[in-house]
Amino acid sequence: MKLTIYHNPRCRKSREALQYLETTEHEIQVINYFDNPLSTDQLNQLLMELDYKPEKLIRTTEAIWKSDFKGKELTAKELVNAMLVEPKLMERPIISNGKKAVIARPLEKLIDFLK
């Protein structure tokens, strides 16, 4: 099975997930979504695979969220656009098999996803 990891190399949990994936038999595609930003369609596809509404994928503890978005009534489209403009707002790491996806934090969620 081919897996895609939407990876932030500065994130310890993302590095742990990638390191774990490298020990498996799966073919892995690594997408650093900071260097290669996602399109609206790609992010909407991930939301569908995760079975998430956009607000569930937002990291509300990020300073940029608190300063620019917190307390505002935003539509789903506006939340998606916020994550596209500020990718650090996305929960990470995201692992996708093309049909389903998981936020691989803690690592046990990734392990369960691969079973």
Summarised one tens digit per residue, pLDDT across range 56-74 is 999 999 999 999 999 999 9
Are 62 and 88 in contact by the 8 Å Cβ rule? The answer is yes
What average pLDDT is seen over the chain? 96
Q: Looking at residue 1, what is its pLDDT?
A: 81
User: Please, what sign has the CA dihedral across residues 39, 61, 50, 77?
Assistant: negative
Tens digit of pLDDT for each residue in 17-53? 999 999 999 999 999 999 999 999 999 999 999 999 9
Active site positions, annotated: 11
To the nearest 10 degrees (0 to 180), the angle between helices 12-21 and 107-114 is 30
Residue extents of the structural domains in the chain: 2-114
Instruction: Using a pLDDT cut of 70, give the percent of the chain over it.
Output: 100
- Domain 2-114: assigned CATH number: 3.40.30.10
Q: Looking at residue 70, what is its pLDDT?
A: 93
Apex 49 CA angle, 45 and 51, nearest 5:
110
Beta bridge partners of 20: none
pTM: 0.93
Q: Looking at residue 44, what is its pLDDT?
A: 97
